[in-house]
Structure 1
Amino acid sequence: MKLLIELLTGDLQPEYKTTESEIYAGEANLFRSGISIGGKLFLTSERLIFLPHKFNFNKKIEYIELSEVNVFQSITSLNILNNTLAFTLENGTELIFIVNNIEIWMEEIERAKKVVDLI
């Protein structure tokens, strides 16, 4: 299974701004309009970037400026799994991602957001 995930997401690389650097990345699913979209989530010093893998019908890339994130939290899915990141943006948009290593994601996002909020 891990090999299949690597085949689907291993070649996904975002285009970074010259002012940003990658902090953390991993496989993720984004829930959009009730549909789970597989791909890879990248945390940079300025943004979250979600790249859907090539086998999805919906291939829209999501760029989320950390400065636009009002609330982010870890929530439990199916009342047993702590693997869900929920974001609420300034414009009211809500985004839900399923990720591995939720504790690392939460720590790194919190750290990066503090830096962005100071600027």
Structure 2
Amino acid sequence: MELKSTEYFIMEHVPANLFRGIEAVGGRLYITNERVIFKPHSFNIQSKPLEISIQEIVNIEKRNTLLVVPNGMRISIKNGQEHKFVIWNRAKLIELIKDTKIKMNV
């Protein structure tokens, strides 16, 4: 994964699943000072990476998987799209992304 010249990792290799339709795509999350990046494992059917600019995030919140399991995170972006993840330590990750957004003054 290539970083931009102004970019650096804040957190790397966070195990995660990203919901794409009915498939929970397994992979890893990478948080930089500019982006949230999801890299799927190569054995998934849907193996395209996802990059979300920190500047594009309008909301990030906790969500429950299967309505009751407290391990989900939802990221909403300016164009109206929502990206739903399953992660451990979601509160820590949500705060990290929110703090990064505040530091960017966006």
Normalising by structure 2, we get a TM-score of 0.92
Aligned to 1:37: 25
Q: How does 1:40-79 map to 2 (within 5 A)?
A: 40-79=28-67
Counterpart-to-counterpart distance in 1, 2:85 and 2:70: 12
Aligned to 1:19: 6
Q: How many aligned positions are there?
A: 105
Unaligned runs of 5+ in 1: 1-13
Counterpart-to-counterpart distance in 1, 2:98 and 2:4: 21
Compare the two structures and name the one with the higher helix fraction: 1
Normalising by structure 1, we get a TM-score of 0.82
Counterpart-to-counterpart distance in 2, 1:61 and 1:90: 19
Q: Which amino acid aligns with 1:67?
A: Q
C-alpha RMSD over aligned residues? 1.3
Q: Deviation above 4 Å: which 4+ runs of structure 1?
A: none
Counterpart-to-counterpart distance in 2, 1:41 and 1:100: 11
- Per-residue CA deviation, residues 55-108 of structure 1 (Å, 9 max, x unaligned), is 112111101001001111011223432211101110011100101111210121
Q: Percent identity?
A: 33
